[in-house]
Structure 1
Amino acid sequence: MRKYMLALAALLAGLVALPNAFADDNVASNGVISGVRFDGGDGSYARAVRNGVTLAIAADPPSTYLDDKTHAFDGTDVRIFKEIMKRLGIEKVTWNIMPFDAMIPTLLSGRTDIIVDNLHENAQRLRVVAFTSPAYWYGSAIAVQRGNPLKIHGWDDFSGRTIGTLRGSLNHQLLEGRKDLKELKLYTSSEAEFADLIAGRIDVAMEDGIKIGLFLKQHPNAGMEFVTDYRPLPQEYGYARYALRKGDVDLNHAVSRALDEMRADGSLAAILRQFGYTDRNLWFYPVKN
Protein backbone atom coordinates (compact mmCIF):
# COMPACT_ATOMS: atom_id res chain seq x y z
CA MET A 1 0.00 0.00 0.00
CA ARG A 2 2.85 2.38 0.87
CA LYS A 3 4.45 1.82 -2.56
CA TYR A 4 1.10 2.42 -4.22
CA MET A 5 0.58 5.71 -2.38
CA LEU A 6 4.09 6.90 -3.24
CA ALA A 7 3.55 6.09 -6.90
CA LEU A 8 0.19 7.89 -6.90
CA ALA A 9 1.74 10.94 -5.25
CA ALA A 10 4.48 11.04 -7.89
CA LEU A 11 1.91 10.78 -10.66
CA LEU A 12 -0.18 13.62 -9.22
CA ALA A 13 2.91 15.78 -8.84
CA GLY A 14 3.71 15.19 -12.49
CA LEU A 15 0.20 16.16 -13.56
CA VAL A 16 0.35 19.35 -11.52
CA ALA A 17 3.61 20.25 -13.27
CA LEU A 18 2.19 19.71 -16.77
CA PRO A 19 0.63 23.18 -17.26
CA ASN A 20 3.96 24.84 -16.47
CA ALA A 21 5.76 22.48 -18.84
CA PHE A 22 3.43 23.46 -21.65
CA ALA A 23 3.56 27.14 -20.68
CA ASP A 24 7.32 27.14 -21.18
CA ASP A 25 6.72 26.28 -24.84
CA ASN A 26 4.42 29.18 -25.67
CA VAL A 27 5.41 32.04 -27.95
CA ALA A 28 6.96 34.63 -25.67
CA SER A 29 6.04 38.30 -25.77
CA ASN A 30 9.25 39.14 -27.62
CA GLY A 31 8.27 36.80 -30.46
CA VAL A 32 10.95 34.18 -29.79
CA ILE A 33 9.70 30.62 -29.38
CA SER A 34 10.48 29.81 -25.76
CA GLY A 35 12.06 26.46 -25.09
CA VAL A 36 13.50 25.92 -28.59
CA ARG A 37 17.10 24.88 -27.96
CA PHE A 38 18.05 22.15 -30.43
CA ASP A 39 21.05 21.15 -28.36
CA GLY A 40 23.37 18.69 -30.04
CA GLY A 41 22.59 17.69 -33.60
CA ASP A 42 24.40 19.44 -36.44
CA GLY A 43 24.44 22.91 -34.85
CA SER A 44 22.93 24.65 -37.89
CA TYR A 45 20.23 26.43 -35.88
CA ALA A 46 22.76 27.65 -33.31
CA ARG A 47 25.00 28.93 -36.12
CA ALA A 48 22.05 30.76 -37.69
CA VAL A 49 21.28 32.52 -34.40
CA ARG A 50 24.95 33.36 -33.88
CA ASN A 51 25.98 34.32 -37.43
CA GLY A 52 22.73 35.12 -39.22
CA VAL A 53 21.34 33.69 -42.46
CA THR A 54 21.18 34.58 -46.15
CA LEU A 55 17.77 34.00 -47.71
CA ALA A 56 17.31 33.34 -51.44
CA ILE A 57 14.38 34.89 -53.28
CA ALA A 58 13.43 35.58 -56.90
CA ALA A 59 11.52 38.34 -58.67
CA ASP A 60 8.39 36.25 -58.32
CA PRO A 61 5.35 38.26 -57.18
CA PRO A 62 3.27 37.83 -55.11
CA SER A 63 5.61 35.39 -53.34
CA THR A 64 8.85 37.38 -53.34
CA TYR A 65 9.81 40.63 -55.04
CA LEU A 66 11.49 44.01 -54.68
CA ASP A 67 8.84 46.70 -54.16
CA ASP A 68 9.45 49.52 -56.65
CA LYS A 69 7.96 52.15 -54.35
CA THR A 70 9.56 51.24 -51.02
CA HIS A 71 12.72 49.62 -52.46
CA ALA A 72 12.24 46.88 -49.85
CA PHE A 73 11.74 43.15 -50.34
CA ASP A 74 8.13 42.07 -49.91
CA GLY A 75 5.68 39.31 -50.76
CA THR A 76 3.85 36.43 -49.14
CA ASP A 77 6.95 34.39 -48.39
CA VAL A 78 9.02 37.41 -47.39
CA ARG A 79 6.48 38.36 -44.72
CA ILE A 80 6.18 34.76 -43.56
CA PHE A 81 9.95 34.55 -43.13
CA LYS A 82 10.25 37.87 -41.36
CA GLU A 83 7.91 36.41 -38.74
CA ILE A 84 9.80 33.10 -38.68
CA MET A 85 13.12 34.87 -38.12
CA LYS A 86 11.58 36.91 -35.31
CA ARG A 87 10.21 33.80 -33.60
CA LEU A 88 13.50 31.94 -33.90
CA GLY A 89 15.59 34.83 -32.62
CA ILE A 90 17.63 35.12 -35.82
CA GLU A 91 18.42 38.83 -36.02
CA LYS A 92 20.99 39.10 -38.82
CA VAL A 93 19.13 38.42 -42.08
CA THR A 94 20.45 39.08 -45.59
CA TRP A 95 18.13 38.87 -48.61
CA ASN A 96 19.63 37.77 -51.93
CA ILE A 97 17.45 38.16 -55.04
CA MET A 98 18.32 36.06 -58.11
CA PRO A 99 16.77 34.24 -61.09
CA PHE A 100 14.37 31.50 -60.01
CA ASP A 101 16.44 28.68 -61.51
CA ALA A 102 19.59 29.89 -59.69
CA MET A 103 18.18 29.40 -56.19
CA ILE A 104 18.95 25.69 -55.72
CA PRO A 105 22.53 25.90 -57.12
CA THR A 106 23.21 28.94 -54.92
CA LEU A 107 21.88 27.11 -51.85
CA LEU A 108 24.01 24.04 -52.53
CA SER A 109 27.12 26.18 -53.04
CA GLY A 110 26.72 27.64 -49.54
CA ARG A 111 26.13 31.21 -50.71
CA THR A 112 22.59 31.16 -49.27
CA ASP A 113 21.03 29.22 -46.41
CA ILE A 114 17.30 28.95 -47.14
CA ILE A 115 15.22 29.22 -50.30
CA VAL A 116 12.38 31.49 -49.24
CA ASP A 117 10.59 31.71 -52.61
CA ASN A 118 8.43 28.64 -52.00
CA LEU A 119 8.89 25.42 -53.94
CA HIS A 120 6.73 22.35 -54.46
CA GLU A 121 8.32 19.15 -53.22
CA ASN A 122 9.03 16.56 -55.92
CA ALA A 123 11.35 13.61 -56.47
CA GLN A 124 13.87 15.57 -58.56
CA ARG A 125 14.30 18.30 -55.94
CA LEU A 126 14.33 15.83 -53.05
CA ARG A 127 17.49 14.31 -54.48
CA VAL A 128 19.44 17.50 -53.75
CA VAL A 129 17.64 19.55 -51.05
CA ALA A 130 15.49 19.07 -47.96
CA PHE A 131 12.09 20.68 -47.47
CA THR A 132 10.38 22.22 -44.46
CA SER A 133 6.91 21.30 -43.26
CA PRO A 134 4.07 22.73 -45.40
CA ALA A 135 3.44 26.46 -45.54
CA TYR A 136 0.32 26.70 -47.72
CA TRP A 137 -1.31 25.15 -50.76
CA TYR A 138 -1.84 26.30 -54.34
CA GLY A 139 -1.86 25.00 -57.88
CA SER A 140 -1.26 25.87 -61.52
CA ALA A 141 -3.54 27.77 -63.86
CA ILE A 142 -3.31 29.00 -67.43
CA ALA A 143 -3.89 32.34 -69.10
CA VAL A 144 -4.55 33.03 -72.78
CA GLN A 145 -5.15 36.09 -74.92
CA ARG A 146 -8.41 37.89 -74.18
CA GLY A 147 -11.35 36.12 -75.78
CA ASN A 148 -9.42 32.84 -75.95
CA PRO A 149 -9.25 32.89 -79.79
CA LEU A 150 -7.49 29.50 -79.95
CA LYS A 151 -10.10 27.83 -77.68
CA ILE A 152 -7.53 26.49 -75.24
CA HIS A 153 -9.15 24.94 -72.18
CA GLY A 154 -6.92 22.10 -71.01
CA TRP A 155 -3.69 20.14 -71.15
CA ASP A 156 -4.69 18.37 -74.38
CA ASP A 157 -5.17 21.71 -76.14
CA PHE A 158 -1.47 22.57 -75.73
CA SER A 159 -0.51 20.39 -78.70
CA GLY A 160 0.96 22.47 -81.52
CA ARG A 161 0.99 25.62 -79.38
CA THR A 162 3.69 27.84 -77.90
CA ILE A 163 3.60 27.60 -74.12
CA GLY A 164 5.39 29.89 -71.67
CA THR A 165 6.34 29.24 -68.06
CA LEU A 166 8.96 30.11 -65.46
CA ARG A 167 12.40 28.54 -65.94
CA GLY A 168 13.18 25.99 -63.23
CA SER A 169 9.58 25.79 -62.04
CA LEU A 170 7.47 22.67 -61.56
CA ASN A 171 5.57 23.56 -64.73
CA HIS A 172 8.88 23.69 -66.62
CA GLN A 173 9.59 20.11 -65.54
CA LEU A 174 6.13 18.94 -66.58
CA LEU A 175 6.12 20.70 -69.95
CA GLU A 176 9.63 19.81 -71.10
CA GLY A 177 8.59 16.16 -71.42
CA ARG A 178 6.00 17.00 -74.06
CA LYS A 179 7.13 16.49 -77.65
CA ASP A 180 3.96 17.82 -79.27
CA LEU A 181 4.41 21.49 -78.40
CA LYS A 182 5.30 23.97 -81.10
CA GLU A 183 7.68 25.63 -78.64
CA LEU A 184 8.32 25.87 -74.91
CA LYS A 185 9.46 29.37 -73.95
CA LEU A 186 11.09 29.84 -70.56
CA TYR A 187 11.18 33.04 -68.53
CA THR A 188 12.97 34.40 -65.49
CA SER A 189 9.92 36.40 -64.38
CA SER A 190 6.16 36.04 -64.73
CA GLU A 191 5.88 39.69 -65.81
CA ALA A 192 7.95 38.98 -68.94
CA GLU A 193 5.89 35.87 -69.58
CA PHE A 194 2.59 37.78 -69.37
CA ALA A 195 3.96 40.55 -71.60
CA ASP A 196 4.77 37.98 -74.30
CA LEU A 197 1.29 36.47 -73.98
CA ILE A 198 -0.37 39.86 -74.43
CA ALA A 199 1.89 40.58 -77.43
CA GLY A 200 0.98 37.24 -79.04
CA ARG A 201 4.46 35.74 -78.83
CA ILE A 202 3.13 32.77 -76.85
CA ASP A 203 -0.29 31.11 -76.88
CA VAL A 204 -0.51 30.07 -73.24
CA ALA A 205 1.06 31.28 -69.99
CA MET A 206 1.16 28.43 -67.47
CA GLU A 207 1.70 29.85 -64.00
CA ASP A 208 0.56 29.69 -60.39
CA GLY A 209 -3.09 30.67 -60.25
CA ILE A 210 -2.47 33.35 -57.64
CA LYS A 211 0.11 35.08 -59.90
CA ILE A 212 -2.27 35.28 -62.83
CA GLY A 213 -5.07 36.54 -60.61
CA LEU A 214 -2.89 39.22 -59.02
CA PHE A 215 -1.59 40.43 -62.41
CA LEU A 216 -5.13 40.73 -63.78
CA LYS A 217 -6.26 42.56 -60.65
CA GLN A 218 -3.41 45.06 -61.07
CA HIS A 219 -3.87 45.30 -64.86
CA PRO A 220 -7.62 44.89 -65.49
CA ASN A 221 -7.33 46.10 -69.10
CA ALA A 222 -4.52 43.69 -70.04
CA GLY A 223 -5.19 41.67 -73.18
CA MET A 224 -5.22 38.31 -71.41
CA GLU A 225 -7.63 36.27 -69.33
CA PHE A 226 -7.89 33.33 -66.93
CA VAL A 227 -9.04 30.02 -68.39
CA THR A 228 -11.55 29.37 -65.63
CA ASP A 229 -12.45 25.81 -66.65
CA TYR A 230 -8.83 24.58 -66.73
CA ARG A 231 -8.36 21.49 -64.56
CA PRO A 232 -4.75 21.04 -63.40
CA LEU A 233 -3.11 17.65 -63.44
CA PRO A 234 -2.49 16.11 -60.00
CA GLN A 235 1.23 16.89 -60.39
CA GLU A 236 0.48 20.60 -60.78
CA TYR A 237 -0.72 21.36 -57.28
CA GLY A 238 0.30 20.69 -53.70
CA TYR A 239 1.82 22.24 -50.62
CA ALA A 240 4.32 25.07 -50.94
CA ARG A 241 7.43 24.59 -48.80
CA TYR A 242 10.88 26.09 -48.30
CA ALA A 243 14.20 24.41 -49.06
CA LEU A 244 17.43 23.99 -47.10
CA ARG A 245 20.58 21.94 -47.45
CA LYS A 246 20.09 18.34 -46.36
CA GLY A 247 22.77 18.68 -43.69
CA ASP A 248 21.07 21.60 -41.92
CA VAL A 249 18.65 19.42 -39.99
CA ASP A 250 18.45 21.56 -36.83
CA LEU A 251 17.69 24.72 -38.80
CA ASN A 252 15.07 22.88 -40.84
CA HIS A 253 13.39 21.64 -37.65
CA ALA A 254 13.39 25.15 -36.19
CA VAL A 255 11.88 26.74 -39.31
CA SER A 256 9.29 23.97 -39.58
CA ARG A 257 8.41 24.39 -35.91
CA ALA A 258 7.80 28.11 -36.43
CA LEU A 259 5.73 27.43 -39.55
CA ASP A 260 3.55 24.92 -37.70
CA GLU A 261 2.94 27.37 -34.86
CA MET A 262 2.04 30.13 -37.34
CA ARG A 263 -0.47 27.83 -39.03
CA ALA A 264 -1.97 27.01 -35.62
CA ASP A 265 -2.20 30.54 -34.18
CA GLY A 266 -3.67 32.21 -37.29
CA SER A 267 -0.72 34.45 -38.15
CA LEU A 268 0.07 32.53 -41.36
CA ALA A 269 -3.53 32.84 -42.55
CA ALA A 270 -3.45 36.57 -41.85
CA ILE A 271 -0.39 37.00 -44.09
CA LEU A 272 -1.90 34.90 -46.88
CA ARG A 273 -5.06 37.01 -46.94
CA GLN A 274 -2.96 40.14 -47.51
CA PHE A 275 -1.97 38.71 -50.92
CA GLY A 276 -5.30 37.39 -52.17
CA TYR A 277 -5.21 33.88 -50.74
CA THR A 278 -7.98 32.53 -48.52
CA ASP A 279 -8.17 30.06 -45.64
CA ARG A 280 -8.70 27.38 -48.29
CA ASN A 281 -5.01 27.73 -49.13
CA LEU A 282 -4.01 26.46 -45.69
CA TRP A 283 -5.08 22.90 -46.44
CA PHE A 284 -4.61 20.63 -49.42
CA TYR A 285 -7.77 19.83 -51.39
CA PRO A 286 -7.57 17.10 -54.05
CA VAL A 287 -8.63 18.27 -57.50
CA LYS A 288 -10.85 15.84 -59.37
CA ASN A 289 -10.19 15.50 -63.09
Structure 2
Amino acid sequence: MRLTSLMFASMVAGVLSVSTAWAADDTAIRSVRFDGGDGSYKRAIQNGVTFVIAADPPSTFLDNKTNSYDGVDVRIFREIAQRLGISKVTWNIMPFDAMIPTLLSGRADVIVDNLHETETRLHVVAFTSPAYWYGSGIAVQRGNPSKIHSWADFAGHTIGTLRGSINHQLLSQRKDLKELKLYTSNEAEFADLIAGRLDVAMEDDIKISAFLKQHPTAAIQMVTDYRPLPQEYGYARYALRKGDVDLNNAVSRALDEIRADGTLSAIIAQFGYSERNLWYFPVKN
Protein backbone atom coordinates (compact mmCIF):
# COMPACT_ATOMS: atom_id res chain seq x y z
CA MET A 1 0.00 0.00 0.00
CA ARG A 2 2.85 2.36 0.89
CA LEU A 3 4.53 1.68 -2.46
CA THR A 4 1.24 2.25 -4.30
CA SER A 5 0.70 5.53 -2.48
CA LEU A 6 4.20 6.71 -3.32
CA MET A 7 3.70 5.81 -6.99
CA PHE A 8 0.37 7.67 -7.08
CA ALA A 9 1.89 10.72 -5.42
CA SER A 10 4.74 10.66 -7.93
CA MET A 11 2.29 10.49 -10.84
CA VAL A 12 0.26 13.41 -9.47
CA ALA A 13 3.42 15.47 -9.01
CA GLY A 14 4.43 14.70 -12.58
CA VAL A 15 1.07 15.74 -13.96
CA LEU A 16 1.14 18.95 -11.92
CA SER A 17 4.64 19.79 -13.10
CA VAL A 18 3.63 19.31 -16.72
CA SER A 19 0.49 21.39 -16.21
CA THR A 20 2.56 24.15 -14.62
CA ALA A 21 5.00 24.11 -17.52
CA TRP A 22 2.19 24.42 -20.04
CA ALA A 23 0.55 27.18 -18.00
CA ALA A 24 3.77 29.17 -18.17
CA ASP A 25 3.55 29.29 -21.95
CA ASP A 26 0.46 27.61 -23.36
CA THR A 27 1.12 28.80 -26.91
CA ALA A 28 4.39 26.96 -27.50
CA ILE A 29 4.41 23.48 -29.00
CA ARG A 30 6.25 21.36 -26.43
CA SER A 31 7.44 17.75 -26.30
CA VAL A 32 7.01 17.35 -30.05
CA ARG A 33 9.94 16.64 -32.34
CA PHE A 34 10.14 17.32 -36.06
CA ASP A 35 13.30 15.41 -36.92
CA GLY A 36 12.24 12.95 -39.60
CA GLY A 37 15.66 13.04 -41.15
CA ASP A 38 16.04 15.90 -43.64
CA GLY A 39 17.06 18.43 -40.99
CA SER A 40 15.01 21.32 -42.38
CA TYR A 41 13.29 22.14 -39.08
CA LYS A 42 16.57 21.97 -37.18
CA ARG A 43 18.12 24.36 -39.71
CA ALA A 44 15.17 26.72 -39.31
CA ILE A 45 15.73 26.82 -35.56
CA GLN A 46 19.47 27.31 -35.87
CA ASN A 47 19.73 29.56 -38.92
CA GLY A 48 16.28 31.13 -39.26
CA VAL A 49 13.89 31.11 -42.21
CA THR A 50 12.98 33.33 -45.12
CA PHE A 51 9.28 33.84 -45.76
CA VAL A 52 8.26 35.11 -49.19
CA ILE A 53 5.06 37.04 -49.91
CA ALA A 54 3.49 39.11 -52.69
CA ALA A 55 1.72 42.46 -52.71
CA ASP A 56 -1.58 40.65 -52.31
CA PRO A 57 -3.85 42.39 -49.76
CA PRO A 58 -5.51 41.42 -47.51
CA SER A 59 -3.45 38.20 -47.48
CA THR A 60 0.00 39.77 -47.60
CA PHE A 61 1.20 43.33 -48.16
CA LEU A 62 3.59 46.06 -47.10
CA ASP A 63 1.84 48.54 -44.83
CA ASN A 64 3.09 51.92 -45.99
CA LYS A 65 2.04 53.59 -42.74
CA THR A 66 4.22 51.35 -40.57
CA ASN A 67 6.67 50.18 -43.26
CA SER A 68 6.14 46.62 -42.05
CA TYR A 69 4.59 43.52 -43.58
CA ASP A 70 1.03 42.68 -42.65
CA GLY A 71 -2.00 40.68 -43.74
CA VAL A 72 -3.90 37.64 -42.62
CA ASP A 73 -1.20 35.20 -43.77
CA VAL A 74 1.61 37.33 -42.32
CA ARG A 75 -0.08 37.35 -38.91
CA ILE A 76 -0.67 33.60 -39.12
CA PHE A 77 3.02 32.99 -39.76
CA ARG A 78 4.20 35.35 -37.05
CA GLU A 79 2.19 33.15 -34.68
CA ILE A 80 3.55 29.94 -36.24
CA ALA A 81 7.16 31.09 -35.99
CA GLN A 82 6.67 31.95 -32.33
CA ARG A 83 5.10 28.60 -31.51
CA LEU A 84 7.84 26.69 -33.32
CA GLY A 85 10.61 28.62 -31.64
CA ILE A 86 11.91 30.12 -34.89
CA SER A 87 13.32 33.44 -33.75
CA LYS A 88 15.18 34.61 -36.86
CA VAL A 89 12.72 35.46 -39.63
CA THR A 90 13.41 37.32 -42.88
CA TRP A 91 10.56 38.57 -45.07
CA ASN A 92 10.83 39.15 -48.83
CA ILE A 93 8.12 40.61 -51.08
CA MET A 94 7.93 40.08 -54.83
CA PRO A 95 5.48 39.54 -57.71
CA PHE A 96 3.04 36.70 -57.12
CA ASP A 97 4.32 34.58 -60.02
CA ALA A 98 7.93 34.88 -58.81
CA MET A 99 7.32 33.19 -55.45
CA ILE A 100 7.57 29.55 -56.54
CA PRO A 101 10.77 30.07 -58.58
CA THR A 102 12.25 31.90 -55.57
CA LEU A 103 11.34 29.01 -53.27
CA LEU A 104 12.78 26.37 -55.60
CA SER A 105 16.01 28.32 -56.05
CA GLY A 106 16.62 28.21 -52.31
CA ARG A 107 16.24 31.96 -51.78
CA ALA A 108 13.15 31.40 -49.60
CA ASP A 109 11.95 28.63 -47.30
CA VAL A 110 8.17 29.07 -47.17
CA ILE A 111 5.65 30.77 -49.45
CA VAL A 112 3.47 32.52 -46.90
CA ASP A 113 1.02 34.05 -49.38
CA ASN A 114 -1.63 31.34 -49.55
CA LEU A 115 -1.88 29.19 -52.67
CA HIS A 116 -4.55 26.97 -54.14
CA GLU A 117 -3.36 23.37 -54.24
CA THR A 118 -3.41 22.32 -57.92
CA GLU A 119 -2.08 19.32 -59.83
CA THR A 120 0.40 21.54 -61.64
CA ARG A 121 1.79 23.01 -58.42
CA LEU A 122 1.93 19.60 -56.74
CA HIS A 123 4.52 18.56 -59.30
CA VAL A 124 6.98 21.16 -58.02
CA VAL A 125 6.17 22.07 -54.39
CA ALA A 126 4.69 20.55 -51.25
CA PHE A 127 1.72 22.07 -49.44
CA THR A 128 0.96 22.45 -45.76
CA SER A 129 -2.23 21.38 -44.05
CA PRO A 130 -5.16 23.78 -44.66
CA ALA A 131 -5.58 27.16 -43.02
CA TYR A 132 -8.93 28.62 -44.13
CA TRP A 133 -11.46 28.33 -46.95
CA TYR A 134 -12.04 31.02 -49.59
CA GLY A 135 -12.95 31.53 -53.22
CA SER A 136 -13.25 33.84 -56.19
CA GLY A 137 -15.46 36.84 -56.76
CA ILE A 138 -15.78 39.35 -59.58
CA ALA A 139 -15.84 43.14 -59.64
CA VAL A 140 -17.28 45.30 -62.41
CA GLN A 141 -17.81 48.99 -63.04
CA ARG A 142 -20.53 50.55 -60.92
CA GLY A 143 -23.96 49.76 -62.30
CA ASN A 144 -22.62 46.66 -64.08
CA PRO A 145 -23.07 48.18 -67.59
CA SER A 146 -22.08 44.94 -69.34
CA LYS A 147 -24.59 42.91 -67.28
CA ILE A 148 -22.00 40.34 -66.19
CA HIS A 149 -23.25 37.89 -63.60
CA SER A 150 -21.73 34.51 -64.43
CA TRP A 151 -18.67 32.72 -65.78
CA ALA A 152 -20.47 32.36 -69.12
CA ASP A 153 -20.98 36.13 -69.32
CA PHE A 154 -17.19 36.68 -69.60
CA ALA A 155 -17.33 35.79 -73.31
CA GLY A 156 -16.33 38.72 -75.51
CA HIS A 157 -15.08 40.83 -72.60
CA THR A 158 -11.74 41.99 -71.21
CA ILE A 159 -10.97 40.20 -67.97
CA GLY A 160 -8.20 40.97 -65.49
CA THR A 161 -6.63 38.85 -62.77
CA LEU A 162 -3.40 38.34 -60.85
CA ARG A 163 -0.57 36.71 -62.81
CA GLY A 164 0.18 33.19 -61.57
CA SER A 165 -3.07 32.82 -59.61
CA ILE A 166 -5.64 30.04 -59.88
CA ASN A 167 -7.86 32.49 -61.77
CA HIS A 168 -5.07 33.04 -64.29
CA GLN A 169 -4.88 29.30 -64.80
CA LEU A 170 -8.62 28.94 -65.33
CA LEU A 171 -9.07 32.00 -67.53
CA SER A 172 -6.13 31.11 -69.77
CA GLN A 173 -8.03 28.02 -70.90
CA ARG A 174 -10.81 30.14 -72.39
CA LYS A 175 -10.69 31.06 -76.08
CA ASP A 176 -13.75 33.30 -76.13
CA LEU A 177 -12.41 36.28 -74.17
CA LYS A 178 -11.77 39.56 -75.89
CA GLU A 179 -8.59 39.90 -73.84
CA LEU A 180 -7.04 38.51 -70.66
CA LYS A 181 -4.96 41.08 -68.81
CA LEU A 182 -2.55 39.92 -66.12
CA TYR A 183 -1.32 41.97 -63.18
CA THR A 184 1.38 41.77 -60.54
CA SER A 185 -0.74 43.62 -57.96
CA ASN A 186 -4.43 43.97 -57.18
CA GLU A 187 -4.08 47.74 -56.91
CA ALA A 188 -3.09 48.02 -60.59
CA GLU A 189 -5.88 45.65 -61.57
CA PHE A 190 -8.59 47.56 -59.73
CA ALA A 191 -7.22 50.86 -61.06
CA ASP A 192 -7.66 49.57 -64.62
CA LEU A 193 -11.20 48.46 -63.82
CA ILE A 194 -12.05 51.91 -62.47
CA ALA A 195 -10.51 53.51 -65.58
CA GLY A 196 -12.59 51.34 -67.90
CA ARG A 197 -9.69 49.32 -69.28
CA LEU A 198 -11.27 46.14 -67.88
CA ASP A 199 -14.82 44.81 -67.95
CA VAL A 200 -14.24 42.38 -65.07
CA ALA A 201 -11.65 41.95 -62.32
CA MET A 202 -11.63 38.36 -61.08
CA GLU A 203 -10.06 37.99 -57.64
CA ASP A 204 -10.62 36.40 -54.24
CA ASP A 205 -13.91 37.70 -52.93
CA ILE A 206 -12.27 38.90 -49.71
CA LYS A 207 -9.78 41.02 -51.70
CA ILE A 208 -12.59 42.80 -53.51
CA SER A 209 -14.46 43.37 -50.26
CA ALA A 210 -11.35 44.76 -48.58
CA PHE A 211 -10.66 47.13 -51.48
CA LEU A 212 -14.22 48.44 -51.48
CA LYS A 213 -14.09 48.94 -47.72
CA GLN A 214 -10.90 51.00 -48.08
CA HIS A 215 -12.16 52.89 -51.16
CA PRO A 216 -15.94 53.28 -50.68
CA THR A 217 -16.21 55.92 -53.41
CA ALA A 218 -14.46 53.83 -56.08
CA ALA A 219 -16.67 53.45 -59.16
CA ILE A 220 -16.75 49.65 -59.01
CA GLN A 221 -18.87 47.02 -57.30
CA MET A 222 -18.79 43.35 -56.45
CA VAL A 223 -21.25 41.15 -58.34
CA THR A 224 -23.07 39.61 -55.40
CA ASP A 225 -24.94 36.96 -57.36
CA TYR A 226 -21.81 35.54 -59.03
CA ARG A 227 -21.51 31.81 -58.36
CA PRO A 228 -17.91 30.60 -58.69
CA LEU A 229 -16.96 27.34 -60.31
CA PRO A 230 -15.93 24.54 -57.91
CA GLN A 231 -12.32 24.96 -59.08
CA GLU A 232 -12.33 28.56 -57.87
CA TYR A 233 -12.86 27.62 -54.25
CA GLY A 234 -10.37 25.86 -52.00
CA TYR A 235 -8.44 25.83 -48.76
CA ALA A 236 -5.67 28.35 -48.31
CA ARG A 237 -2.39 26.49 -47.94
CA TYR A 238 1.27 27.41 -47.96
CA ALA A 239 4.13 25.95 -49.99
CA LEU A 240 7.56 24.54 -49.19
CA ARG A 241 10.16 22.58 -51.12
CA LYS A 242 9.31 18.90 -51.36
CA GLY A 243 12.48 17.91 -49.55
CA ASP A 244 11.77 20.04 -46.47
CA VAL A 245 9.52 17.47 -44.86
CA ASP A 246 10.48 18.20 -41.25
CA LEU A 247 9.75 21.91 -41.60
CA ASN A 248 6.47 21.20 -43.40
CA ASN A 249 5.41 18.83 -40.60
CA ALA A 250 6.22 21.50 -38.02
CA VAL A 251 4.34 24.28 -39.85
CA SER A 252 1.35 22.01 -40.49
CA ARG A 253 1.24 20.95 -36.85
CA ALA A 254 1.25 24.59 -35.77
CA LEU A 255 -1.52 25.40 -38.26
CA ASP A 256 -3.63 22.55 -36.89
CA GLU A 257 -3.14 23.78 -33.34
CA ILE A 258 -4.07 27.41 -34.03
CA ARG A 259 -7.17 26.20 -35.88
CA ALA A 260 -8.11 24.10 -32.84
CA ASP A 261 -7.49 26.66 -30.10
CA GLY A 262 -9.27 29.62 -31.71
CA THR A 263 -6.20 31.67 -32.60
CA LEU A 264 -6.77 31.30 -36.34
CA SER A 265 -10.40 32.36 -36.00
CA ALA A 266 -9.32 35.51 -34.21
CA ILE A 267 -6.72 36.35 -36.88
CA ILE A 268 -8.94 35.87 -39.92
CA ALA A 269 -11.78 37.83 -38.27
CA GLN A 270 -9.53 40.90 -38.29
CA PHE A 271 -9.65 40.80 -42.10
CA GLY A 272 -13.33 40.18 -42.71
CA TYR A 273 -13.48 36.39 -42.66
CA SER A 274 -15.76 34.47 -40.34
CA GLU A 275 -15.64 31.03 -38.72
CA ARG A 276 -17.50 29.82 -41.79
CA ASN A 277 -14.19 30.21 -43.59
CA LEU A 278 -12.53 27.59 -41.41
CA TRP A 279 -14.31 24.74 -43.15
CA TYR A 280 -15.42 23.66 -46.60
CA PHE A 281 -18.80 25.02 -47.59
CA PRO A 282 -20.64 24.18 -50.81
CA VAL A 283 -21.35 26.77 -53.50
CA LYS A 284 -24.53 26.10 -55.45
CA ASN A 285 -24.55 27.11 -59.10
Fold in common (TM above 0.5): yes
Residue 265 (1) aligns with residue 271 (2): no
Give a deviation string over 1:124-161, Cα, whole Å, max 9, x none: 10000000000001000000000000000000000000
Aligned to 1:249: 245
The equivalent of 1:204 in structure 2 is: 200
Residues 227-274 of structure 1: CA distance to partner in whole angstroms, max 9, x if unpaired?
A: 000000000001000000000000000000000000000000000011
Equivalent pairs counted in the alignment come to 277
CA distance in structure 1 between the partners assigned to 2:216 and 2:195 by the alignment: 16
Q: Percent sequence identity over matched residues?
A: 74
Q: What's the CA shift for 1:31? A: 3.8
Q: Which residue of 2 aligns with 1:6?
A: none
Q: How does 1:216-255 map to 2 (within 5 A)?
A: 216-255=212-251
Q: Which 5+ residue runs of structure 2 have no aligned equivalent?
A: none
> Which residue of the partner structure matches residue 60 of structure 1?
56
**Does the C-alpha gap of structure 1 residues 216 and 40 become closer, same or farther in structure 2, counting only changes over 3 Å?**
closer
Alignment of 1:119-130 (within 5 A): 119-130=115-126
Q: Partner residue of 1:92?
A: 88
Partner deviation per Cα, 1:32-62 (whole Å, 9 max, x = no partner): 3111222342111011000000000001100
Q: Is this contact kept in 2: 1:24–1:34, CA < 8 A?
A: no
Give 1:164's aligned residue: 160
Aligned equivalent of 1:117: 113
What runs of 5+ residues in structure 1 fail to find an aligned partner?
Answer: 1-8
Aligned position for 2:190: 194
Q: 2:146 matched to which residue of 1?
A: 150
In the alignment, the residues of structure 1 paired with residue 197 and residue 18 of structure 2 have an alpha-carbon distance, to the nearest angstrom, of 58
Inter-CA distance 28–115: structure 2 relative to 1 (3 Å threshold):
farther
Q: Give the whole-Å Cα distance in 2 for the aligned partners of 1:30 and 1:266.
A: 13
Alpha-carbon RMSD across the aligned residues, in angstroms, is 2.0
Give the counterpart letter for 1:131 in structure 2: F
Where has structure 1 moved over 2 Å in runs of 4 or more? 16-28
Q: Matched residue of 1:220: which SS?
A: coil
Q: Whole-Å Cα distance in 2 between the matches of residues 211 and 126 of structure 1?
A: 25
269-278 or 27-36, larger mean C-alpha shift: 27-36
Matching of residue 73 in structure 1 with residue 62 in structure 2:
no
Deviation at 1:287? 1.0
Change (3 A) 1:178 1:83: same
Give yes or no for contact 1:27–1:34 (8 Å, CA) kept in 2: no
Q: TM-score by structure 1 length?
A: 0.91
Measured against aligned partners, the alpha-carbon deviations of 1:158-212 in whole angstroms (never above 9, x if no partner) come to 0000000000000000000000000000000011000000100010000000000
8 Å CA contact retained: 1:143, 1:225:
yes
TM-score normalised by structure 2 residue count: 0.93
